[in-house]
């Protein structure tokens, strides 16, 4: 059994729910064959989110970590390629913090690439009929903060563990009064299950074009 830790976030920005947490909890309740999946909800708070993530990793001792966050406005499940070493908040976190141009890890590298097979993960999600793509920006909010913190932890202290980040769209109930794309939590959970299973079995990513012109 491959031990997989999935994390989602608490609601933020006035929302009553966060589909990232709802979906990872659903995967943990019915994990893919061959995987031992645990799910942890992270606070949508700079700093505290990384403290909670570090504690979860120490407690669960996963071989793979997939952190998941909500990206309202995106139409598909997006597997992130890169995390950058900056916090630059357009909106406040749940505790009201709004850092501007602050480094996440002083002296850390400018960026880290995901150590998940991101293109194979995208292909696996598409194969089960769920829209997916590679994303080249995780933003500069708490999602990127967690992605970079995770990548730094794995690179400096846990090189045998692989990890990355996935963004998911709004759930349908979040957009009943606004014209925004959405995917059901059940569909997102199916996609995340495929991502976890693919990460467990694929060490060398497939070589296909998934870049962007802008």
Q: 149: burial class by Cβ within 10 Å (0-12, 13-18, 19+)?
A: buried
DSSP 160: T
The encoded tokens of residue 193 equal 């299950």
Indicate if 143 belongs to the active site: yes
Query: Helices (H), strands (E): how many in the chain?
Result: 5, 8
The per-residue b/e assignment along 52-73, b for 16 or more CB within 10 angstroms, e otherwise, is: bbeebbeebebbbbbbbbbbbe
CB 190 within 8 A of CB 183: no
47: Cα within 13 Å, side-chain hemisphere: 8
- CA-wise closest residue to 192 among 8, 50, 62: 8
Alpha-helical regions (H) of 61-141: 118-127
Instruction: From the candidates 80, 145, 152, 210, give the one annotated as an active-site residue.
Output: 80
Indicate if 121 belongs to the active site: no
Instruction: From the candidates 67, 145, 167, 210, give the one annotated as an active-site residue.
Output: 167
Indicate if 145 belongs to the active site: no
DSSP 176: T
Instruction: From the candidates 63, 121, 143, 145, give the one annotated as an active-site residue.
Output: 143
Just list the catalytic residues.
80, 143, 167
């Amino acid at each position: 059994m491959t031990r997989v830790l999935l994390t989602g976030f608490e609601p933020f920005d006035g929302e009553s729910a966060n589909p990232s947490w709802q979906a990872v909890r659903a995967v943990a309740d019915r994990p893919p064959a061959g995987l031992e999946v645990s799910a942890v909800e992270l606070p949508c708070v700079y700093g505290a989110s990384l403290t909670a993530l570090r504690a979860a990793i120490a407690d669960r001792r996963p071989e793979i970590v997939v952190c998941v966050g909500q990206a309202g406005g995106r139409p598909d499940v997006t597997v992130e390629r890169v995390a950058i070493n900056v916090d630059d908040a357009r909106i406040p976190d749940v505790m009201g913090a709004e850092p501007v141009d602050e480094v996440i890890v002083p002296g850390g590298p400018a960026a880290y690439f995901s150590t998940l097979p991101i293109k194979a993960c995208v292909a696996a999600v598409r194969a089960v009929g769920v829209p997916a793509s590679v994303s080249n920006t995780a933003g500069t909010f708490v999602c990127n903060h967690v992605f970079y913190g995770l990548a730094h932890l794995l690179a400096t202290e846990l090189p045998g563990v692989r990890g990355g980040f996935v963004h998911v769209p709004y759930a349908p109930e979040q957009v009943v009064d606004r014209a925004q794309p959405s995917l059901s939590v059940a569909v997102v959970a199916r996609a995340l299950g495929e991502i976890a299973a693919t990460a467990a079995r694929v060490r060398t990513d497939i070589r296909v074009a998934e870049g962007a012109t802008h």
